[in-house]
Amino acid sequence: MNPFNPVPPERTSRFRRGPGRPRRQADSGTARPGATSRLPLALLLAVLLPLLLMPLASIFVFAGRDGLRGFLQTLAQPDAQFALRFSLLIAFATALFNGILGTFAAYVLSKYRFRGRETLNVVVNLPVAIPTVVVGTSLLLLWGPIGLLGQFLDPLGIQPMFAPAGVLLAHLFVTFPYMLGAVKPVLDELEVTYEEAAYTIGANRWQTFFFIILPALRGGLFSGLLLTFAHSLGEFGATVMVSGNLRLRTQTAPLYIFAQFEAGNIEAANAVAAVLALLSFAIFMLLQRFTQQRSTRGS
């Protein structure tokens, strides 16, 4: 099991089972019966309420304050629309790029044996551990006009930083491990017999990859893409460093929220925050549903 894997499939499905029948069965087996067994649950809820649930709820309470019309009007402002669209486009592009790159990396790391494989394994997972602000800084120090490479590119008129390309670079960096984390465990556990069978009937590496491995990876690919997309949508730390925060040009939705909040336009900030929250909920639900489905089908 990959230690950096953000969503181990079995864990999440058990975690998500919710108040349905299977859980009660499990409870009666381990917990003491009667009223005492409710106390821990009540305590947990009492802690979670101010910690998680109330802050999230307040976004929507505030968003609904001026009514739906006010909410939609705030949302319809050109810079809010731009920020949302730009964020979504970057998220799609990031998911596409890292979908391909991450799968390739997972394939190489899982199927090939070479010296330094473990080191490389750690390196590609590093972005999970590095603070995103540090990622932003490091990108600036490489590609920025005073950066190691940037100082040679700048005279040629190539300026990746403070432009959409810079935002994409930052998101690719930050979200790289998610695809890998979703795909590699599946690849690691994939039985080699199918592959071997394919080779024995004369398939080459590419054919084996496309017809044997890729179909088996579908689940991992899907959850990896969703995770990458969701993380890209919410990325702030690295983006704020490299985007230049230009309204209508490089301002992503999280940056818009922050800028509007700072300027005291809480309604504008909150409207976009509510949309982002809803989108993430949707993605998360999809992911949960999907992993649950897979684990029940698998068992």
Residues lying near another protein in the complex (CB under 8 A) are found at 79, 82, 84-86, 88-89, 92, 140, 144-146, 150, 154, 159, 161-162, 244-249, 251, 259, 262-265, 286
Give the nearer residue to another protein in terms of CB position, either 41 or 141.
141
Do 238 and 255 contact (CB within 8 A), yes or no?
no
In 3D, which of 112, 237, 215, 93 has the Cα closest to residue 165?
93
Give the nearer residue to another protein in terms of CB position, either 23 or 247.
247
Residue 217 C-beta: closest distance to another protein, Å: 16
299 to each of 17, 172, 216, 295, 296, how far by Cα in Å? 15, 35, 16, 6, 5
Q: Which residues contact residue 1 at a Cβ distance below 8 angstroms, ignoring those fewer than 6 apart? A: 8, 185
For residues 95 and 33, what is the distance between their CA atoms, to the nearest angstrom?
Answer: 47
239 to each of 36, 202, 243, 254, 280, how far by Cα in Å? 48, 48, 6, 9, 18
In 3D, which of 265, 255, 241 has the Cα closest to residue 84?
255
For residues 96 and 225, what is the distance between their CA atoms, to the nearest angstrom?
Answer: 8
Residue 176 C-beta: closest distance to another protein, Å: 21
Residue 38 C-beta: closest distance to another protein, Å: 36
Residue 205 C-beta: closest distance to another protein, Å: 29
Residue 148 C-beta: closest distance to another protein, Å: 14
Give the nearer residue to another protein in terms of CB position, either 86 or 176.
86
Burial, 175: exposed, middle or buried (Cβ in 10 Å; 0-12, 13-18, 19+)? Answer: buried
For residues 120 and 176, what is the distance between their CA atoms, to the nearest angstrom?
Answer: 13
Give the nearer residue to another protein in terms of CB position, either 128 or 283.
283
Give the nearer residue to another protein in terms of CB position, either 84 or 124.
84
Residue 141 C-beta: closest distance to another protein, Å: 9
Residue 22 C-beta: closest distance to another protein, Å: 19
Give the nearer residue to another protein in terms of CB position, either 44 or 96.
96
Give the nearer residue to another protein in terms of CB position, either 71 or 82.
82
| 77 HSE (CA, 13 A, CB side) | 18
